Amino acid sequence: MLLTIDHVRKSYPGGRPVLSDVSLTLDQGETLALTGESGSGKSTLLHLAAALDGFDGGEITLRGTALSTLDDTGRAALRRETLSLVFQQFNLIPSLTVAQNLSIHARLAGRDDPEWVAHLAERLGLADLMDRFPEQLSGGQQQRVAIGRAMATRPALLLADEPTGNLDETASAVVLDLMLSLVADTGAALLLVTHSQDIAARLDRRAHLSGGRIA
């Protein structure tokens, strides 16, 4: 099993619980949609799986490594070497070109592969935009760059938090199709937070968060 979330608990500062007892698993190559009402803890759970935040109880294991055993250096290494993230806000670096944004995470991880980046650019319809800056792109194009940047490291796990939330219906469909195609071709697993039942229906499985638990 690639990712195991086992009876995880998390409270906000002040003690208000956001995740009460959450368990789920994700196998290599599997896609899972995480749904739930606003404030149900979907993004919080994604951040915990990405080792961006600590949890109060239970355990999260990624590729056999218990996240609770890692220090800051170990968590950062995990994010470089095993997983990648795509957010609703594209989080591109404004001062870098498309080509530079695509390759920056791979370079930081010591995995820079110009041929793979060029292949991603072609697949994502970005080959003619490599010298442009983020402000010169549409929202859909920026999100495609963000997906390419995430996949440039060839992650075992892609975590996506409402990746089409800022896009119109047409751009959203294109971005989702490209993301699902790339994870299928590379064998990556995908955990995707979404409020859309239509998007959730496109993935292998879905889990619904309600009241801090998987309903």
> Which CATH number characterizes residue 89's domain?
3.40.50.300
The token pair that represents 150 in the structure block: 């995430």
Tell the residue number behind the tokens 């796990």, with chain if given: 157
Instruction: Name residues whose C-beta falls within 8 Å of residue 176's C-beta, 6 or more positions apart in sequence.
Output: 163, 164, 199, 202
Q: Which of 4, 35, 74, 27 is closest to 189 using CA atoms?
A: 27
Percentage of the chain with pLDDT > 70? 100
Which pLDDT score is estimated for 38? 86
Q: Please, are residues 68 and 21 in contact by the beta-carbon 8 Å criterion?
A: no
Q: Is residue 145 very low, low, confident or very high in pLDDT (cuts 50, 70, 90)? A: very high
* Between residues 133 and 211, the one the model is more confident about: 133
Q: Is residue 114 very low, low, confident or very high in pLDDT (cuts 50, 70, 90)? A: very high
Per-residue pLDDT tens digits for 172-199: 999 999 999 999 999 999 999 998 999 9
Exposure class string for 33-69: b at 16+ Cβ within 10 A, else e = bbbbeeebbbbbbbbbbbbeeebeebebbbeebebee
Say if residue 139's pLDDT is above 90: yes
DSSP codes, 85-113: EEESS----TTS-HHHHHHHHHHHTT---
Q: Please, are residues 149 and 99 in contact by the beta-carbon 8 Å criterion?
A: no
Q: How many domains does the chain have?
A: 1
Phi and psi dihedrals of 144, rounded to 5? -65, -35
Supply the range of the domain harboring residue 28: 3-214
Per-residue pLDDT tens digits for 85-110: 999 899 999 999 999 999 999 998 89
Per-residue pLDDT tens digits for 195-205: 899 999 999 99
The token pair that represents 57 in the structure block: 């109880």
Q: Is residue 142 very low, low, confident or very high in pLDDT (cuts 50, 70, 90)? A: very high
Give the pairing type, strands 83-87 and 65-66.
unpaired
Which pLDDT score is estimated for 14? 82
Per-residue pLDDT tens digits for 16-69: 899 999 999 999 999 999 999 888 899 999 999 999 999 999 999 999 999 999
Q: Cα–Cα distance between 144 and 127 in angstroms, integer?
A: 11
**How many CA atoms lie within 13 Å of 33's alpha carbon, on the beta-carbon side?**
19
Q: Is residue 215 very low, low, confident or very high in pLDDT (cuts 50, 70, 90)? A: confident
